[in-house]
């Protein structure tokens, strides 16, 4: 997800499957050497089916080789504070020296929830489309049996047994727990339910959210270089001002009073719905937030609760209503069916405010864009829609050059 976020690879990238990836033992997708498959399908297969061949193909596509990807995994583990983990392969299969702990996997699960909410919902799918066929979730039994479970991931090896990192939310409480060494799927799920029940009974009603710090991006090889998106300028695209020519008065006025301008254009912040109210609705339409088979507004997980409890020792979401979209303007005429996303925010007001600020700062590429706020389960997504593909990619390159997070969203 970090590689996607920083433009090293896209969800649309066609990955060529190597002999090494295709030869991985089950569980697997059945990939063939030389086969080309979109990264989005590999991610779905690895996350939902625990496909070892897909996981290896992902690692090779991102880092060039499985060993290089394992080295990157170790750098990330260190940055996250996973002090007792060491990875030697991309899929977690038994290998001398390849190891982790329940506590470290809980840390990883917590960062997944907080750092990449737009992808978290993938881990709650009962099934997933992997390019022409559907595969079942290896965690579907727990997701279907435990109230509030909405992720995260199973694992099995003969050496480690039946393993599970799970997360569940009830009301404003969320528990994340991990079990290693289960004797069977049923025994593992039973013990996980006991751990989560203990967590929900023990957690206080009021506690401050302690969001983990997102690790800094250090480039594909960890050298600490600033890696720009392809085509990003080496210097600002914005033209330099003419010597001795002061900026226009109206531009100064807009820049200095943008907050008041936004307050006039958008409504006051609306309170975020309680988790109980959100959970009362029907299940959302499955989507993993990837272009192609994804909606324009990327689904995101349920609202972040007021309290998070971590237990090192599964997962199933309550049903939620389809996201309600708040659209400022909308048109896709003339091939303008591309969009960009610049983040998820706590309220419609805040999302609109950021959209307007960004539009004012980047008028050269966004003057014709349409501002759109889509309400998801953890916040309000700020999108510019009604762009051409060229316009969307140019806008994201310019925003990336200004250290502003930006994701291009294709049609479909």
Report pLDDT digits (tens) over 136-162. Answer: 999 999 999 999 999 999 999 989 999
Tokens of 112: 């997944």
d(CA 40, CA 385): 22
- Say if 1-92 and 101-211+284-319 have the same CATH topology: yes
Residues 6+ apart with CB under 8 A from 129: 41, 44, 293
Pick 245 or 5 by higher pLDDT: 5
pLDDT at 334: 56
Contact 338, 410 (CB under 8 A): yes
> Which architecture characterizes domain 101-211+284-319 according to CATH?
3-Layer(aba) Sandwich (3.40)
pLDDT at 357: 85
Report pLDDT digits (tens) over 316-343. Answer: 344 444 443 333 334 444 567 899 999 8
pLDDT band at 375 (very low <50, low <70, confident <90, very high): confident
Query: Span 92-104, mean pLDDT?
Result: 94
Closest of 338, 342, 344 to residue 404, by C-alpha: 342
- Helix, coil or strand: residue 126: coil
Residues 6+ apart with CB under 8 A from 135: 29, 44, 45, 48, 49, 51, 127, 128
Which residue intervals of 84-219 are DSSP H helices? 102-115, 117-120, 140-145, 185-202
pLDDT at 335: 66
Report pLDDT digits (tens) over 157-213. Answer: 989 999 999 999 998 899 999 999 999 999 999 999 999 999 999 988 887 778 899
- Helix, coil or strand: residue 346: coil
Backbone Cα Rg of the chain: 22
- Assess whether pLDDT exceeds 90 at residue 217: no
Report pLDDT digits (tens) over 268-310. Answer: 444 444 333 323 333 444 444 444 443 334 444 455 554 444 5
- Assess whether pLDDT exceeds 60 at residue 88: yes
Mean pLDDT of the chain: 78
* Strand duo 307-312 + 173-182: pairing: parallel
Does residue 119 have a cis peptide bond before it, meaning omega lies within 30 degrees of 0? no
Report pLDDT digits (tens) over 31-80. Answer: 999 999 999 999 999 999 999 999 999 999 999 999 999 999 999 999 99
Percentage of the chain lying above the pLDDT 70 cut: 72
Helices 66-80 and 52-63 meet at what angle, rounded to 10? 90
pLDDT at 259: 47
> Which architecture characterizes domain 1-92 according to CATH?
3-Layer(aba) Sandwich (3.40)
Report pLDDT digits (tens) over 42-51. Answer: 999 999 999 9
Phi, psi of 258 (to 5 degrees): -60, -35
The residue extents of the domains of the chain are 1-92, 101-211+284-319, 249-270+323-409
pLDDT at 223: 57
Closest of 70, 61, 106 to residue 91, by C-alpha: 70
């Amino acid at each position: 997800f970090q590689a996607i976020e920083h433009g090293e690879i896209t969800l649309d990238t066609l990955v060529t499957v190597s002999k090494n990836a295709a030869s991985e033992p089950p569980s697997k997708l059945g990939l063939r050497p030389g086969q080309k498959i979109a990264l989005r399908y590999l991610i779905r297969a690895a996350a939902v089916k625990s496909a070892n061949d897909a996981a290896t193909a992902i690692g090779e596509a991102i880092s060039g080789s499985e060993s290089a990807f394992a080295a990157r995994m170790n750098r990330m583990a260190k940055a996250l504070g996973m002090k007792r983990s060491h990875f030697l392969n991309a899929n977690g299969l038994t290998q001398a020296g390849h190891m982790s702990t329940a506590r470290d996997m809980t840390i990883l699960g917590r960062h997944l929830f907080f750092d990449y909410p737009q992808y978290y919902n993938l881990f709650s799918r009962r099934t997933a489309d992997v390019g022409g066929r559907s595969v079942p979730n290896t965690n579907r039994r727990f997701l279907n049996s435990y109230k509030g479970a909405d992720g995260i991931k199973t694992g099995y090896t003969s050496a480690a047994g039946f393993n599970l990192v799970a997360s569940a939310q009830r009301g404003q409480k969320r528990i994340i727990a991990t079990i290693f060494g289960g004797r069977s799927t049923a025994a593992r799920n039973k013990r996980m339910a006991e751990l989560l029940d203990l967590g929900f009974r023990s957690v206080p009603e009021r506690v401050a959210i302690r969001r983990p710090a997102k690790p800094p991006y250090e480039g594909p090889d960890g050298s600490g270089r600033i890696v720009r998106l392809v085509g990003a300028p080496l210097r600002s695209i914005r033209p330099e001002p003419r010597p001795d020519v002061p900026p226009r008065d109206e531009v100064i006025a807009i820049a200095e009073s943008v907050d008041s301008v936004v307050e006039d254009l958008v409504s006051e912040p609306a309170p975020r719905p309680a988790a109980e109210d959100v959970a009362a609705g029907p299940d959302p339409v499955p989507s993993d937030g990837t272009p192609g088979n994804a909606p324009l507004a990327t689904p995101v997980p349920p609202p972040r609760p007021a309290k998070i409890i971590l237990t090192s020792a599964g997962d199933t979401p309550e049903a939620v209503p389809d996201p309600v979209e708040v659209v400022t303007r909308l048109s896709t005429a003339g091939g303008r069916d591309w969009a960009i996303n610049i983040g998820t925010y706590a309220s419609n007001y805040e999302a609109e405010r950021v959209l307007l600020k960004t539009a004012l700062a980047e008028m050269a590429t966004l003057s014709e864009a349409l501002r759109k706020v889509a309400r998801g389960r953890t916040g309000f997504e700020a999108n510019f829609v009604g762009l051409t593909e060229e316009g969307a990619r140019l806008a994201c390159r310019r925003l990336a050059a200004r250290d502003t997070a930006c994701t291009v969203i294709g049609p479909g």
